[in-house]
């Protein structure tokens, strides 16, 4: 849509016209900038952060697998317990 065709339209009409011309990905990006998912700015930053695409090492994978196994066996420590232990 060109600028000339937007003349005489209300702001909402102009927005609707522009939105209709967006691709799905452009609409997602526009929506994220207009209406953050939450009021927590830190969570919003995490949501918008790029995916971690660095491969993990075999050692990291082994540690993660052991930690998950401990969790599944019920050996996890709650946040409150960790706070008490760490002071």
Domain boundaries, the chain: 3-86
pLDDT at 5: 72
Is-above-0.75 flag for pTM?
A: no
First vs last C-alpha separation in the chain? 61
pLDDT at 36: 60
CA atoms within 13 A on the CB side of 68: 6
Give the residue from 2, 25, 28 showing the smallest Cα distance to 14.
2
Encode pLDDT of 8-17 as tens digits: 889 999 989 8
Q: How far apart are CA 63 and CA 26, in angstroms?
A: 39
Res. 71 pLDDT band, cuts 50 70 90: very high
């Amino acid at each position: 849509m060109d600028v000339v065709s937007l003349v005489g339209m209300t702001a909402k009409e102009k927005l609707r016209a522009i939105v209709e011309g967006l691709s799905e990905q452009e609409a997602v990006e526009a929506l994220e900038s207009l209406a953050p998912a939450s009021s927590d700015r830190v969570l919003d930053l995490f949501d918008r952060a790029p995916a971690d695409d660095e491969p993990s090492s075999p050692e990291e994978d082994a540690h993660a697998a052991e930690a998950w196994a401990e969790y599944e066996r019920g050996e996890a420590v709650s946040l409150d317990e960790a706070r008490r232990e760490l002071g």
